[in-house]
């Protein structure tokens, strides 16, 4: 038994997922026991390939990678290739990693690792919640073995980034988000609106990417397209949602303001499908399951990113 905190990351790399993973790779207090991969930002064949490549570049081929859900539970959904590149990593044409994903399905890996690290496992969901929902359907007792669930998803006042009301991860698979968030008695949420409140100035990001490390050089290449897209459409700051969620995972003491409230995921509606509806005034009488990150120490957040990119 190690003193390090076991960390299981469910993800859909994706440029911002890659930054979050580099942050986790660089953290000595946590042991990454696996990466479970879903479709989301781009198709599953790309997200798995990207996870394997990032591990290779970072010298972390010790971390097992498990392929999971290739599509949402019920309804087709658009990906975000227009932001991340059609391959999810900026369309720079890097060669594939030497190794392949494990044979075990991601949902089964989630369940197995929840038993192996029962009561200690931190589960981090950076993408659509399809894999976690599948695991829950196979074994509804999963939440009893998870010490902490951290979710990147939602837009807590319905200022969405894929529709006017919905954030991408919840919109991609609202049914999965509903199943997961209903099943857990409590979870930490880092939403899109917190991301907007913790932007990263493009010039600072460019300075970090000049670090003399393979990780920084690789990340500079794969993120160029999305940073350019962001500069054209969102101004002086770049927004890295998964990186903020990972900061909340790795250094929860950096949270400066939190709010505990009931939250529901909207499954219907022409305008609101995938929206995260927070009962701010607690009018419905539901439990305060969502521990919502409102404000995080910006200097600590940026220091975690800078250190991760500069790591050897």
| CA gap 153, 49 in Å, rounded | 23
Q: Which of 216, 213, 198 is nearest to 300 (CA)?
A: 198
Could you say which of 75, 105, 237, 271 is catalytic?
A: 237
Q: Is the peptide bond before 236 cis (omega within 30 degrees of 0)?
A: no
Q: Is 237 a catalytic residue?
A: yes
Q: Count of CB atoms within 10 A of residue 297's CB? A: 16
CA 124 to chain centre: 7
Counting every residue, how long is the chain? 312
101: alpha, beta or left? (left if phi > 0; alpha if psi -120 to 50)? beta
Give 299's contacts (C-beta < 8 A, 6+ positions apart). Answer: none
| CA gap 118, 188 in Å, rounded | 19
| CA gap 71, 173 in Å, rounded | 9
Q: Which residues are catalytic?
A: 237
């Amino acid at each position: 038994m190690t003193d390090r905190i076991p960390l299981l990351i469910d993800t859909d790399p994706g440029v911002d997922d890659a930054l979050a993973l580099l942050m986790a790779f660089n953290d000595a207090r946590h042991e990454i026991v696996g990466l479970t991969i879903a479709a989301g930002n781009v198709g599953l064949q790309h997200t798995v390939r990207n996870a394997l490549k990032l591990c290779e570049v970072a010298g972390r081929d010790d971390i097992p990678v498990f392929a999971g859900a290739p599509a949402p539970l019920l309804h087709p959904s658009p990906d975000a290739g227009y932001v991340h590149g059609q391959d999810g990593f900026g369309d720079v044409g890097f060669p594939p990693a030497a190794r392949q994903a494990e044979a075990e399905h991601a949902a089964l890996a989630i369940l197995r690792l929840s038993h192996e690290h029962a009561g200690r496992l931190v589960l981090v969901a950076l993408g659509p919640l399809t894999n976690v929902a599948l695991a829950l359907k196979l074994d509804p007792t999963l939440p009893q073995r998870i010490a902490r669930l951290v979710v990147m998803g939602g837009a807590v006042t319905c200022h969405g980034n894929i529709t006017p009301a919905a954030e991408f991860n919840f919109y991609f698979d609202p049914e999965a988000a509903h199943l997961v968030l209903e099943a857990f008695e409590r979870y930490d949420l880092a939403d899109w609106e917190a991301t907007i409140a913790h932007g990263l100035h493009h010039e600072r990001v460019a300075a970090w990417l000049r670090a003399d490390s393979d990780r920084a050089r690789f990340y500079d290449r794969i993120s160029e397209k999305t940073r350019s897209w962001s500069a054209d459409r969102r101004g002086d700051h770049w927004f890295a949602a998964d990186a903020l969620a990972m900061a909340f995972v790795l250094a929860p003491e950096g949270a400066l303001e939190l709010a505990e409230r009931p939250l529901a995921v909207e499954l219907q509606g022409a305008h609101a499908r995938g929206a995260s509806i927070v009962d701010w005034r607690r009018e419905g009488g539901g439990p305060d399951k969502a521990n919502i990150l409102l404000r995080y120490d910006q200097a600590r957040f940026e220091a975690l990113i800078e250190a991760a990119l500069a790591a050897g």
